[in-house]
Amino acid sequence: MNAFTTKAATALALGGGNIARAASYRIGVKLGLNPVRRLRAVGPCGPFFAAVSGEAPPHHSVSSWRTSAQLFSRWPYAVANDAPDWLANSLTGRRVDGVDREWWEIPDFDPTVGDIKLIWELSRMDWVLALAQHARGGDAAALSRLNNWLADWCKLNPPYRGPNWKCGQEASIRVMHLAIAALMLQQVKDPVPSLRDLIQLHLQRIAPTIQYAVAQDNNHGTSEAAALFIGGSWLAAQGVRDGVRWQRQGRKWLENRMARLIGLDGSFSQYSLNYHRMVVDTVCMVEVWRRHMELPEFSVRWQQRAKAASLWLRHMINPINGDGPNLGANDGARLLQLADTTYRDHRPTVQLATVLFAGGRAYAEDGPWNHALPWLGVTLPQSNAPQPSNLAANDGGFAVLRRGSAMAMLRFPRFRFRPSQADALHLDLWLGGDNLLRDAGSFSYNTDPGWLNYFGGTASHNTVQFDDRDQMPRLSRFLFGDWLKTSFIEPLTENAQVTRFAAGYRDGHRAIHRRRTSLYDTRLRVVDEVKGFSRRAVLRWRVAPGSWRLDGQRLTNGHHVLEVSASMPIVRCELVEGWESRHYLEKTSLPVLEIEVEKPGTLTTEYRWTA
């Protein structure tokens, strides 16, 4: 395809309705037609939460936000009684210029701001949940800090001005966290007027622009719909007239988004493990709130999609440490932090979602994955949900193969929605809690083009790269063109000896890659058929950091062996340095085995370990 044809085809794939919504939003805001431009208000002064009454519950509280915390669940942050600087880069301390600008005057990638996520991080108000836990546990100083920080935030972020009002999703995350804090503090029924006013200010910002969020076909729409439903129903119960309208609007879009963005097999539109956790956390908060407020249930279809999304996540996660493939975009988002678990431990989300939507425990034993439930008024059932096994998620393009403690995950192209990474036929391998063959993550959304192209490109995945190009051409920071389609597939099968799955594609340059994956009890066998390329094809295997030794085409660390053979001449077999990002803004090196060929044929890889 030429450039024009590629862009036209991509626009068609994005959907005419979505393009119209986005264009209408941008034109409406620019010309002042959207009512969001006419919003004017004065922020509340506080206090926001009343004194806590009753005995402290015997629930586990998080340890963070007393003297220290971790931004993006990774970077140390010292906590003092004084409020943070809400308008400064949370890691460097550099303050944003022009903080009195209307939010719509701030460009999406303002060079004076840099990575705006570093401004937004503290204003997502994860600390509200932690301080609410501490206050409910009898810590009067935590309640004082909670009220003082909220008052300071309102003072330095006047309604609809500055970077912290720019994004409707960021406003929505604040609404959800404030509502859950009120639930934990038992102050939903009779909220302090300042808190009610703060919620109303946020919904006034979210409601006029939700069409733009919906046009993205991602977690922006689910987050904003959730905030409208939760905040709207809360305000309606307090007699706020607009609350009824916002509640209905939120319910409507929650039903719509779950039906569109979650496949029957549970796959989510963003093809990302971390964004999948985010949408599951969001619907968990919605369901907890709905039950607490005794509101009507969502449709059967909504409940089925919520259950399917929960089970998809459980299939991807190993129960030993809660980690899973570093799949797709990974921006450090982590909602509902009510337990002292690491960022890459998904078990608290899996347990809560399985209880809410599948009616059983994902994990039978006790542990921190249970700590959120009593805070949210959720009873832990006695029964256990069935154990996850193999998964063929054709809606999203994922196959999970299991043999004992080994798991392989193959990614194949089923792009109903825009892909964020050129990762077709990437393969992850796990043994217990150890990630043996690894994905790269995404590092940063606002970095130099070299790193942006590396982490989102084909070279950072366990797959084949043809002629030094990505599998799809990059059209912009968050958009690829010529979306791949699976042209070959063999269903997932299992017998006493082996579990198998195969898939393949032909790209826009007519290069073909077919991958057959066979998982045995003590080895993984991968057969890659490649043809149709012009100059060369490079197969990459990204192995766990360690002391690896390459002898010919045999790579070993003394415990595991990775060996490659081919039907055509191998012109290069080399161990090189690659990069991975397990947390946002973090990149570390790892060994990558590169096998280069110049002719079509098959490459056979065996990864072996001892039982």
CA atoms of 606 and 590, how far apart (whole Å): 20
At residue 114, the pLDDT reads 75
Q: For residue range 312-342, list pLDDT tens digits in order.
A: 999 999 999 999 999 999 999 999 999 999 9
Hey, what domains does the chain have and what are their CATH numbers?
A: 1-33 (no CATH), 39-216 (no CATH), 262-388 (no CATH), 391-608 (2.70.98.70)
Enter the pTM of the model.
0.97
Identify the burial level of 549 via C-beta atoms within 10 angstroms of its C-beta, where 0-12 means exposed, 13-18 middle and 19 or more buried: exposed
Q: What is the mean pLDDT of residues 478-490?
A: 95
CA atoms of 234 and 242, how far apart (whole Å): 11
- Residue 109, pLDDT above cutoff 80: no
CA atoms of 187 and 458, how far apart (whole Å): 50
- Residue 391, pLDDT above cutoff 70: yes
Residue 267 pLDDT class (50, 70, 90 cuts): very high
Packing angle of the helix pair 193-206, 241-261 (nearest 10 deg): 50
> What percentage of the chain reaches a pLDDT higher than 70?
100
Q: Which of 525, 524, 543, 532 is nearest to 594 (CA)?
A: 543
Ordered alpha helix ranges (H), 360-433:
372-375
* CA 52 centroid distance within chain: 34
Residue count of the chain, please give it. Answer: 611
Query: For residue 287, what are the CA distances in angstroms to 290, 307, 322, 364?
Result: 5, 12, 23, 22
Q: For residue range 153-169, list pLDDT tens digits in order.
A: 999 999 999 999 999 99
Q: Which of 544, 573, 582, 578 is nearest to 560 (CA)?
A: 544
Q: For residue range 168-194, list pLDDT tens digits in order.
A: 999 999 999 999 999 999 999 999 999
Which residues, 6 or more positions from 542, have their beta carbon under 8 angstroms from its beta carbon? 437, 438, 439, 440, 460, 461, 462, 578, 580, 590, 591, 592
Identify the burial level of 115 via C-beta atoms within 10 angstroms of its C-beta, where 0-12 means exposed, 13-18 middle and 19 or more buried: middle
Tokens (6 digits) for 469:
């190009």
Q: What is the DSSP string of 207-224?
A: GGGHHHHHHTTSHHHHHH
Which residues, 6 or more positions from 453, have their beta carbon under 8 angstroms from its beta carbon? 470, 474
* SS3 (DSSP) at 318: coil
Tokens (6 digits) for 27:
């034109």
At residue 497, the pLDDT reads 96
Q: For residue range 341-357, list pLDDT tens digits in order.
A: 999 999 999 999 999 99
At residue 108, the pLDDT reads 75
Residue found under tokens 């208000």: 41
> What percentage of the chain reaches a pLDDT higher than 90?
91
At residue 58, the pLDDT reads 92
Q: What is the mean pLDDT of residues 582-606?
A: 97
Q: What is the mean pLDDT of residues 98-119?
A: 83
Strands 601-608, 561-566: pairing kind: antiparallel
CA atoms of 337 and 345, how far apart (whole Å): 11
At residue 12, the pLDDT reads 87
Residue 11 pLDDT class (50, 70, 90 cuts): confident
Ordered alpha helix ranges (H), 465-594:
none
CA atoms of 348 and 495, how far apart (whole Å): 33
* Inter-residue contact 266 to 393 (CB < 8 Å): yes
Percent helix, percent strand, percent coil in the chain, to nearest 5: 35, 20, 40
Packing angle of the helix pair 273-293, 241-261 (nearest 10 deg): 140
Q: What is the mean pLDDT of residues 418-441?
A: 97
First to last CA, the chain: 49
CA atoms of 163 and 253, how far apart (whole Å): 26
Residue 1 pLDDT class (50, 70, 90 cuts): low
Q: For residue range 206-223, list pLDDT tens digits in order.
A: 999 999 999 999 999 999
**Dihedral sign (CA 127, 129, 131, 133):** negative
CA dihedral 565, 566, 571, 575 (to 10 degrees): -30
- Residue 253, pLDDT above cutoff 80: yes
Q: What is the mean pLDDT of residues 113-135?
A: 94
At residue 98, the pLDDT reads 75
* CA 351 centroid distance within chain: 17
* Inter-residue contact 89 to 97 (CB < 8 Å): no
Q: Which of 468, 474, 459, 462 is nearest to 537 (CA)?
A: 468
Q: What is the mean pLDDT of residues 543-547?
A: 97
- Residue 477, pLDDT above cutoff 90: no
Q: What is the mean pLDDT of residues 289-304?
A: 98
CA atoms of 597 and 558, how far apart (whole Å): 27
**Order of all β-strands in the sheet with 464-466:** 464-466, 537-542, 588-597, 570-580
Which amino acid does the sequence have at 286? V
pLDDT, mean over the chain: 96
